[in-house]
């Protein structure tokens, strides 16, 4: 049982993601922090969309007191001034990693929900706070942090499998489909990438030339201690681009860590996502807390007393 708890905080980096990546680090740009939370609560996994001149930042909202993630939305005006915050999605199970994106004339959210045993695609009935479950995505494993991208004429998902604790961090799977609601075909070579440095998705995937660039977490020092960019291509001389099941070539880039602007959040960086003129990241520090250590036994006792269903709890990772 760890004496320290991860406390994450999202930030707006005042530069588009392509400019940040071209610079090679986060230290040259201004940062704006999202509003603070009470002790032993945090927000993480920021993804954003602009609508009517305002930036909507969707995050996992987590409190160690119940260890049950929900999805909140923070709204900023064009001057990057915080306007309001609200809860937009909750389920009986833990939610995190709220990937939001536009496609086919609709707005979609694909949050991580492995505690439910499946992956659900949500459609915005009224953006940003009314979401309806559109489809259940069936894959070769219960996916963690599934990240969509349109590539090679298909929709692709890159995800970690909800297998062993090691596989959750070091294995990357892929699947493709003609439409977002499937059916989805897992890549026959899954896992397409295994790396002890980390391979769990951590932000926006995008197409660059003939390749996909995907942020993944580096977890060597602790969970989410940094990010690396994977470049995913089809090897030259390999199967034609229409042969989706052909081998993928995957190369890992250098480590990304929080810059001095993130003080005191210097001990981790595990999401980087694009939001037009800004880039969204989250950084963490580790808080020593005896009260935090005692929260898990208290939660377990409460679950025993109320005869729980077995879903909805999380270790905060």
Residue with tokens 């990937």: 99
Q: What is the Cα–Cα distance from 225 to 208, expressed in whole angstroms?
A: 26
Query: Residue 315 pLDDT more than 50?
Result: no
- CATH topology for the 4-306 domain: Tachylectin-2; Chain A (2.115.10)
Q: How confident is the model at residue 26 (pLDDT cuts 50, 70, 90)?
A: very high
Smallest CA-to-CA distance from 68 within 49, 96, 88 is with 96
Smallest CA-to-CA distance from 283 within 98, 23, 42, 57 is with 42
Q: What is the pLDDT of residues 77-86, one digit of tens each?
A: 999 999 999 9
Biggest alpha carbon distance in the chain?
A: 61
Smallest CA-to-CA distance from 35 within 17, 52, 16, 59 is with 59
Residue 309, pLDDT score: 42
DSSP strand E in 195-277: where?
206-208, 211-218, 226-233, 249-252, 268-275
Q: Are 155 and 148 in contact (CB under 8 A)?
A: yes
For the chain, the domains span 4-306
Residue 308, pLDDT score: 46
Q: How confident is the model at residue 221 (pLDDT cuts 50, 70, 90)?
A: confident
Query: Residue 66 pLDDT more than 50?
Result: yes
CA distances (Å), origin 224, targets 84, 272, 284: 28, 12, 9
The average confidence (pLDDT) of the chain is 91
CB atoms within 10 A of CB 194: 12
Q: How confident is the model at residue 302 (pLDDT cuts 50, 70, 90)?
A: low
Residue 2, pLDDT score: 65
Q: How confident is the model at residue 258 (pLDDT cuts 50, 70, 90)?
A: very high
Q: How confident is the model at residue 246 (pLDDT cuts 50, 70, 90)?
A: confident
Residue 220, pLDDT score: 87
């Amino acid at each position: 049982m760890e004496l320290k708890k991860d406390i994450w905080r999202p930030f707006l980096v005042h530069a588009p993601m392509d400019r940040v990546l071209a610079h090679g680090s986060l230290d040259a740009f201004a940062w704006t922090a999202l509003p603070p939370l009470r002790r032993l609560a945090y927000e993480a996994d920021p993804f954003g969309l602009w609508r009517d001149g305002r930036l909507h930042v969707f995050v996992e909202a987590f409190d160690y007191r119940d260890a049950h993630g929900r999805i909140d939305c923070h709204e900023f005006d064009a001057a990057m001034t915080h306007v309001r915050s609200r809860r937009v999605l909750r389920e009986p199970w833990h939610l995190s990693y709220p990937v939001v994106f536009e496609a086919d004339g609709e707005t979609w959210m694909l949050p991580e929900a492995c505690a439910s045993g499946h992956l659900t695609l949500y459609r915005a009935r009224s953006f940003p706070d009314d979401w309806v479950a559109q489809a259940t995505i069936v894959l070769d494993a219960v996916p963690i942090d599934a990240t969509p991208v349109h590539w090679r004429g298909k929709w692709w998902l890159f995800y970690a499998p909800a297998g062993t604790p090691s596989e959750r961090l070091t294995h990357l799977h892929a699947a493709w489909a003609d439409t977002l609601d499937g059916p989805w075909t897992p890549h026959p070579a899954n896992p397409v990438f295994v790396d002890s440095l980390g391979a769990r998705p951590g932000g926006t995937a995008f197409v660059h030339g003939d390749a996909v660039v995907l942020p993944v977490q580096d977890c060597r020092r602790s969970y989410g201690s940094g990010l690396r960019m994977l470049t995913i291509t089809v090897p030259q001389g390999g199967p034609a681009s229409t042969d989706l099941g052909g081998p993928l070539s995957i190369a890992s880039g250098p480590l990304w860590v929080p810059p001095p602007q993130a003080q005191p959040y210097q001990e981790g960086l595990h999401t980087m996502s694009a939001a037009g003129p800004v880039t969204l990241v989250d950084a963490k520090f580790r808080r020593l807390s005896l009260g935090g250590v005692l929260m898990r036994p208290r939660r377990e006792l409460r679950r025993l007393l109320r005869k729980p269903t077995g879903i909805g709890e999380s270790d905060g990772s």
